[in-house]
Amino acid sequence: MSEGLLRLACVALAGALGAVARWGVSVGTQQFWNARGLAAWPVGTLTANTLGCFAFGLCYAWMEDAWPDADQLRSFIFTGFLGAFTTFSTFAFDTYSLQSGRGAAAALLNIGLHVGLGLLAVWLGFAWGRE
């Protein structure tokens, strides 16, 4: 099997696992809080995003020293599993990296662009979809 095909298989398998894990965490967390009368907030999404960010930071730090050349494992964990579990973890890591390398202004610009353009895109999608 070629290197590219193996990496694609890793990402696809991990993506399926990450999507199922996200669904389980999100549904389970939401049901837990709904049963306690706290259903007004999307805690399932918040929990999945927070766990994904923590897992991204933890795994990246571990792998940076222990397995610096483990490209297929990185593809499996970061692009596949965590990419499907939550793209928010990638956004948070990119923002952290910008802050570390280029300063707070770059990080804040990244946050503003993602949130602003994301909200605009949702609004435009709804507007277009309702016509």
Give the pLDDT band of residue 20 (cuts 50, 70, 90): very high
Res. 67: pLDDT tops 90:
no
Give the pLDDT band of residue 39 (cuts 50, 70, 90): low
pLDDT at 77: 93
Convert the pLDDT of each residue in 103-119 to its tens digit.
999 999 999 999 999 89
Give the pLDDT band of residue 12 (cuts 50, 70, 90): very high
CA distance 82 to 108: 23
Phi, then psi, of 128 in degrees rounded to 5: -70, -40
